[in-house]
């Protein structure tokens, strides 16, 4: 898709591949910044979990289970 976009443009590429122009632009930008490595899938895991259980509480629970 990226190779096609480089030679034919964003909108024609979106039509040919059945996607939207913003998706083509996203992949094209990743390719321009990082090369082929930028085309690998990225993790969807959150960077931060504000409601996560505190580590000291987790350690306490594990200690209780080991008893």
Q: Which residue has the tokens 């895991």?
A: 45
Break the chain into its structural domains and give their ranges.
1-41
pLDDT score, position 42: 85
> What count of other Cβ atoms lies within 10 Å of the Cβ of residue 28?
17
Residues of the chain where predicted confidence (pLDDT) is lower than 50: none
Element (H, E) at 66: helix 55-66
């Amino acid at each position: 898709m990226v190779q096609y976009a480089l030679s034919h443009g964003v909108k024609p590429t979106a039509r040919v591949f059945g996607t939207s122009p913003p998706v083509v632009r996203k992949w094209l930008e990743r390719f321009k910044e990082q090369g082929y490595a930028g085309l690998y899938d990225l993790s969807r895991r959150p960077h931060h979990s504000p409601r996560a259980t505190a580590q000291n509480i987790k350690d306490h629970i594990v200690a209780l289970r080991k008893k």
